[in-house]
Amino acid sequence: MAGDTLDFLDRLVGFDTVSSKSNLDLIDWVGDLVAAKGARLRRTYNDERTKANLLVSIGPVDVPGLLLSGHSDVVLVDDQQWSTDPFRLTEKHGSVFGRGTADMKGFVACCLSMLTRLDPATLRRPVHLALSYDEELGCRGVPRLVDDLVASTALPAVAVVGEPTLMQVATCHKGARVYETVFTGLEAHSSQSQIGVSANVHAARFILHLERIFGELATRRSGARGLVPDTCTFNAGVMSGGTAVNMIPRSSRLLWEFRDIPEVDGDLLEETLLAHLFGPATDAMRMGCAGARIDTERLACVLPLDPAGTGPAVELVRRLTGISGDGAVAFGTEAGNFQNAGIPAVVCGPGTIAVAHKPDEHVALSQLAAADRFLDDLAAWIT
């Protein structure tokens, strides 16, 4: 393992960057660290300027190069029983423990170790490190980073997203879209149901509509190896409405999502589902009350990673590192955003998703060492 990887990981874990908080202290620390090595920096912010993406570039400006991608935010530790301080790196049993060690500050630490050991004057191709905000909230920050990347530099030839895969190469995952839908009907005494419009009933009818649509989609199976389940799915995760058993509920709030396989057009599927809400579902509610309505907001959009577009990235990684693989991961990543911008992308990073988001999250020291070797092999392509 590179000598400074653990030092960098210790600093990164020490920043409490749960998605509800600012990540600017971490971004500023990383920026200062790599700027001292001659890196060029670009920041893109959220609307409130409380969070930032950071694009670090080292080497030639107008040449396609290597993009390494990681997110800066981590999930909450509230109500979890940790045996160590989640925001202090703790080493034991051949692993290091702390929030984000696997997902995915371990990979970022390895990237920083690589970047700080490079001499910009020796690089034939550039290397970029993309650090995003709000990945854990549904890849909300990375679209601004990608737009800025495309507008400001030569399109990278390949992207590696270092989510935890036990250093196996993944070339596929589903997309995910999350929505909040509010049904507004008309309250009434439950003994006079003929004059009320139950928001709960219409929300339930929409859930049944989702079940029917995705039941029909179940015949469309992905050809990607290892994608489980290999069909589009939906989930009605949260439903809340009503105030008393003897009152027809005026309002009902539904949080729902769907996950699309690469072979299905997610935009078209979204259009179809929302058209039902804004058309037949709304019309049915207004039969009982002209003022009834349905309001929907998309909260998150994770783009799928299509294996059909990963060939150049897989070939380069296989040739330089000897690591093969073309499997799928069950979770979503930012790789689809880079692929959508025309950058071939794969997912490969240290640690396992099995410990992510859990108490006592950790990554094996052997995995960090493997990631360091992996990045050193990739560095041979740019020097």
**Domains of the chain (ranges, CATH numbers):** 5-172+305-382 (3.40.630.10), 176-302 (3.30.70.360)
Distance, CA of 259 to chain centre: 13
Distance, in Å, from the CA atom of 101 to the CA atom of 192, rounded to the nearest integer, reads: 57
**CB-based burial of residue 33 (10 Å sphere; 0-12 exposed, 13-18 middle, 19+ buried)?**
middle
**3-state secondary structure string across 198-240:** CHHHHHHHHHHHHHHHHHHHCCCCCCCCCCCCCCCEEEEEEEE
pLDDT in tens, 42-93: 999 999 999 999 999 999 999 999 999 999 999 999 999 999 999 999 999 9
pLDDT in tens, 89-128: 999 999 999 999 999 999 999 999 999 999 999 999 999 9
pTM of the complete model: 0.92
One-letter identity of residue 334:
E
Count CB-CB contacts under 10 A for residue 356.
21
SS3 category, 318? helix
φ, ψ of residue 240 to 5 degrees: the values are -145, 135
Distance, in Å, from the CA atom of 167 to the CA atom of 339, rounded to the nearest integer, reads: 20
pLDDT band at 322 (very low <50, low <70, confident <90, very high): confident
Distance, in Å, from the CA atom of 137 to the CA atom of 48, rounded to the nearest integer, reads: 16
Tell me the residue length of the chain. 383
pLDDT band at 1 (very low <50, low <70, confident <90, very high): low
Please enumerate in sequence order all residues whose Cβ is within 8 A of that of 221, keeping only pairs 6 or more positions apart, or say none: 230, 231, 261
List Cα–Cα distances, 41 to 49, 215, 217, 343, in angstroms. 17, 47, 44, 20
Cis before residue 285, ω within 30 degrees of 0? no
pLDDT in tens, 342-382: 999 999 999 999 999 999 999 999 999 999 999 999 999 99
Strands (DSSP E) contained in the chain are: 40-45, 52-58, 66-71, 90-92, 95-97, 127-132, 158-161, 170-172, 176-184, 188-189, 233-241, 247-248, 251-259, 293-302, 327-328, 345-347, 362-364
pLDDT in tens, 8-33: 999 999 999 999 999 999 999 999 99
Task: Report DSSP state, residue 195.
Answer: G
SS3 category, 315? helix
Return the closest-CA partner of residue 67 out of 130, 150, 143.
130
Distance, in Å, from the CA atom of 218 to the CA atom of 341, rounded to the nearest integer, reads: 29
Structure tokens at 352: 């396992």
One-letter identity of residue 85:
D
φ, ψ of residue 330 to 5 degrees: the values are -80, -25
Mean pLDDT calculated for residue range 204-210: 97
Please enumerate in sequence order all residues whose Cβ is within 8 A of that of 47, keeping only pairs 6 or more positions apart, or say none: none
Structure tokens at 227: 């994608």
One-letter identity of residue 323:
I
pLDDT in tens, 342-352: 999 999 999 99
Distance, in Å, from the CA atom of 344 to the CA atom of 336, rounded to the nearest integer, reads: 9
Strand partners, 43: 54
DSSP H helical segments within 290-364, as ranges? Answer: 311-321, 335-340
pLDDT in tens, 232-282: 999 999 999 999 999 999 999 999 999 999 999 999 999 999 999 999 999
Mean pLDDT calculated for residue range 214-229: 93
